[in-house]
Chains A and B, each alone.
Chain A
Amino acid sequence: HSALTQPASVSGSPGQSITISCTGNTNDMHSFAYVSWYQQHPGKAPTLVIFDVNNRPSGVSSRFSGSKSGNTASLTISGLQAEDEADYFCSSYAARDTRVFGTGTQVFVL
């Protein structure tokens, strides 16, 4: 079972902003200093959209941003678009040089 908890689903209308939370034990997750976020469309492999809490890989839209506070990391998608409808997974560097994924969140664009 996963050590990072995410909401099962989040929805929003086009143009709106949504935020996906990711909660875990910060003692096991290096204080969430190395949180990443992946987007996965149906039938496709995941793609990295945020790394090290709030950094975007080259080519990822600036509409994606990350943050953390306490034992919660968050991914915000602003200016929601139809193409953002996908599954999103948080991921954290963890004890014993491992990485743990979150439970995943389905994003629906209404």
Chain B
Amino acid sequence: EVQLVESGGGVVRPGGSLRLSCAASGFTFEHYPMSWVRQSPGNGLEWVSGISGNGGSRTYGDSVRGRFIISRDNAKNSQYLQMNSLRPEDTALYYCVRVIIGSLWDFDYWGQGALVTVSS
């Protein structure tokens, strides 16, 4: 069974940093691109970032480019999102998602999410 479990969420002040982790199981992790998608309270979805299976290619949404860094450790079946220079508008539930192989960032499995709150 595919499982994605996020951790590392919490409350942080504007300008601060936070690192999210996602532990994957139930599939051959290194074969799959991965991504992060966020959803602000009561609002819609926003694609944040994506990374290729070997970690060699990374891409970011306009609102986080230059502030967030996506990475992965295939030996640990994990991906990460380093979030720097956080803003109140980054407050959201952050989902770890598995990308469908061969797709252009379509997602077939989602974690339950990690809540990030940016507030003074």
Identify the A interface with B (CB < 8 A). 2, 34, 36, 38, 45-48, 51-52, 57, 89, 91, 93, 96-104
Contacts and interface: CB of A to CB of B under 8 A. Distances in A.
Contact of B44 (A48, A89, A97): A89
Interface of B: 37, 43-47, 50, 59-62, 95, 100, 103-108, 110-113
B104 A93 contact: yes
A82 B47 CA distance: 29
Contacts of A102: 44
B106 A101 contact: no
B105 A45 contact: no
Contacts of B111: 45
23 contacts: A2-B46, A34-B104, A45-B95, A45-B112, A45-B113, A46-B107, A46-B110, A48-B100, A51-B100, A57-B108, A91-B45, A97-B104, A98-B59, A98-B60, A98-B61, A98-B105, A99-B47, A99-B104, A101-B37, A101-B45, A104-B43, A104-B44, A104-B45
A98 B108 contact: no
A88 to B, nearest CB: 11
Contacts of B45: 38, 46, 89, 91, 101, 104
